[in-house]
Amino acid sequence: MTRTNEIHLTELDAARLERSLIEQLRQSPEPAHGTAELEALLDAAAVVPSATIDSNVVTMNSTVVLEEQPTGRRMTVTLVYPKDSDPERSHVSVPGNPPRDLRVAEMKYQPEAAGRFDL
């Protein structure tokens, strides 16, 4: 199988997501919704230093405009860590099951591109 979209995570994002996964597993003997997806994401990801991540890569705490295909409907969301998820504020988390008909139309903010390597 050929991957067309490799997953890149910054070192900080990977460490925080791994801690989130460990916390989810500690809280309950039954895996929480999304635990397997988060584990698969972490296993598949290429982990890179924050300072080297491309400015067009959606990282944690990035704000993007998503466009629904084929309707063209747009929504602005911020990708956050699981504990910070708040759909009413358009803060969505990984893991999630985004519809396959969404694409990133615009990158409004990426912490690393703004010199913020601590978010």
Domain ranges (residues) in the chain: 8-109
Among the residue ranges 15-19, 32-36, 63-67, the one predicted with the least confidence is 32-36
pLDDT value of position 98: 61
Q: By the 8 A CB rule, do 51 and 10 touch?
A: no
Detail the DSSP E strand segments found in 1-119.
Answer: 8-10, 46-48, 63-68, 74-80, 91-93, 102-109
Residue 31, pLDDT > 80, answer no
Whether the pLDDT of residue 100 is over 50: the answer is yes
| Per-residue pLDDT, 61 | 96
Global pTM value: 0.82
Give the model's pLDDT for residue 93: 86
